[in-house]
Amino acid sequence: MIELWTIDAIWISVAFVLGMLAKRINLPPLIGFLAGGFILNFTGITEGGMALHVVADLGVMLLLFTIGLKLNVRSLISKEILVTTSLHMILSVLLLGSVVTLISWAGLYGTTSLSLEAALLIGFALSFSSTVFAVKVLEDKGEMTSFHGRIAIGILVLQDLIAVIFLSLSKGHIPTIWVLGLPVYLIIIRWLFVKVLNIMDHGELLTLFGFFTAFVAGAIAFELVGLKPDLGALVVGALLGSHPRSKELSKQMLAFKDFFLIAFFLDIGMSGFPTANSLLIAVVLLFAIPVKGTLFMVLLTRLNLRARTAWHSTLSLANYSEFGLITGAIGVKMGVIENEWMIIIALALSFSFVFAAPLNTHSHRLFDRYSHILMKLNTKNRHPDDEPVDLGDARVIICGMGHVGRAAYHQLSADFGDRVISIDYDKDVVAKLSGSNKNVVWGDSTDSNFWRNVKMPDVEYILLTMDDHNSNINTANALTKCKNRRFSVAAPGHYLHEITELRDAGVSFVYNYYSRAGAEFASGFLSFVENRKEDRVRLATDGEC
């Protein structure tokens, strides 16, 4: 008999090794975690240790809490997100439910036919797209705040809200009378937590505050009034989403969320070992992914988004979701579907990530190659993501208005006046800076079509100052498509490989943060000391007079 703490050591070790292997072949680590669960099940370890089940449940709650911290309620009611999510989910449930029914009729799944309720539940589980996958892909490419990134995240959050409502209703009983006092409770704790966040430091107390907020103030409070604890974690996170420190809190909780979700994926894999039948069904379901993606592409372009925006959003969403596993687990508990469908959904999820990962990695290159086909989906109406076509007499362009971009803007404005123009793909940033009389326009500098089409006859200098290296690289590559290039490009780099990549992409001047920051720090310090000495001498001289 293996002791429980030994099992915890085993699953942590297996998760680490297989996660590393998956990463080495450019696949999301969670595919390795699912595979680890299958391997543990095959070796006879079908139940986790003391930590696994608890950590798995906490992982789902923490995922919802961090989603809540990023939730922009206003964006969810835009037609691009609300209409696309609603129609896509309805069509996907019907489509995937029909596919599952055909699989059952074809005899691929045992000898018994699935009920209509079971087929629709499985279709519902497969209709979601993966928040974990999409967020990771967008973060890796530096496109979380891009227009297409926000569209994708908005759709994912709305899907997650639908999933949480389903999870709450699946409890099967009516909330207590105390649920009527929930709005008052939420108003009070928001006021209190905002006060606490304003005085909180940046250390371990902030992390502990995140756990307290998600699990105690959110999950347990909702559980006590008869609602799903997952919903409580999401709602409390959303209450703090508008606070200036919500991003910092989200980053603080990121590592814990990722670790807890490892336990969730392992737990799913350990629930059963795939048979030849389940592998075959998962492969069949994989062929529905292009159809699922096509639905997103058509819906988004019909709502007047440009084909490029729809393309990048679609690739982020063309997969199956970890919420499908959660929904499937509820279906098993309710007795609607059999446990083997959990294994099938887990396999389909893994296969969809394998399919989607390389497409997302090369998304810009693929769009450039097939843009002549994809752009036929553009409508003739005005697009909400239309970019500027004329930069006037600008001599300097700054791409990205983060900390570095704003500092560069102030410095160069002193030399070039109003002939400095900045481009940013975060509409909130553009609105805020435009209101402070800065010459900022909205646009996606990583879009090669933008640089092909925009008029900028006087531009001499382009500075790539986005916070993310991949965005700077994508922009540098897009700039190579410019005809009659007469400008110089500059960008910052932190590490040797970043500097090499920027130079290979045609960047004229790369600012090495670490080497130059040290030199400038020393030079600035010596100048400060020398000035102080001169001041002392001057004061002493004045005193003698």
pLDDT tens by residue, 144-183 = 767 888 889 889 888 877 876 776 666 555 677 888 888 8
- Average pLDDT of the residues of the chain: 81
Distance between CA 496 and CA 449 in Å, rounded? 30
CB atoms under 10 Å from CB of 258, counted, come to 17
Q: Mean pLDDT across the stretch 443-472? A: 84
Q: Which segment of 206-210, 237-241, 511-515 scores lowest on mean pLDDT? A: 511-515
Rg of the chain in Å (alpha carbons): 26
Residue 84 has pLDDT above 90, yes or no: yes
Mean pLDDT, residues 388-412 taken together: 87
Position 111 scores a pLDDT of 42
Q: Tell me the residue type at 440.
A: V
Strand bridging mode 509-512 / 420-424:
unpaired
What per-residue confidence (pLDDT) applies to 539?
A: 60
> Which of 283-297, 431-445, 450-464, 469-483 has the highest average model confidence (pLDDT)?
283-297
Domain at 396-520: CATH architecture: 3-Layer(aba) Sandwich (3.40)
Across the range 274-298, mean pLDDT stands at 89
Coil, strand or helix at 466: coil
**Cα gap 94→115, rounded to integer Å:** 14
The per-residue pLDDT for range 180-197, each reduced to its tens digit, is 888 899 999 889 988 888
Mean pLDDT of 507-518: 80
Where along the chain do its domains lie? Answer: 57-261+289-377, 396-520
Pairwise pLDDT comparison (258 vs 365), residue with the higher score: 365
pLDDT at 314 over 80: yes
Task: Calculate the alpha carbon distances from 9 to 15, 33, 48, 517 in Å.
Answer: 10, 14, 10, 43
Q: With contact defined as beta carbons under 8 Å apart, do 389 and 345 qualify?
A: no
What is the model's pLDDT at position 536? 65
pLDDT digits (tens, 9 = 90+) for 93-139: 999 999 888 888 877 655 456 788 888 889 999 999 988 778 778 87
Q: How confident is the model at residue 228 (pLDDT cuts 50, 70, 90)?
A: confident
Task: State the DSSP string of 357-412.
Answer: HHHHHTHHHHHHHHHHHHGGG--SSPPTT---SB-TT-SEEEE--SHHHHHHHHHH
Residue 545's pLDDT band, with cuts at 50, 70 and 90, is very low
Q: What is the residue whose two structure tokens read 């007795």?
A: 335
Identify the band that residue 52 occupies on the pLDDT scale cut at 50, 70 and 90: low
Residue 473 has pLDDT above 70, yes or no: yes
CA distance 256 to 211: 10
**Do residues 223 and 74 touch, judged by C-beta distance below 8 A?**
no
The pLDDT of residue 38 is above 80: no
The per-residue pLDDT for range 483-502, each reduced to its tens digit, is: 777 889 999 888 888 888 88
**What is the model's pLDDT at position 537?**
63
Which pLDDT belongs to residue 273?
A: 66
Q: Is the pLDDT of residue 203 over 70?
A: yes
**Whose CA is closest to 1, among 45, 35, 41?**
45
- Is the pLDDT at 248 greater than 60? The verdict is yes
Q: Please tell me the least confidently modeled range out of 179-183, 396-400, 501-505, 530-534.
A: 530-534
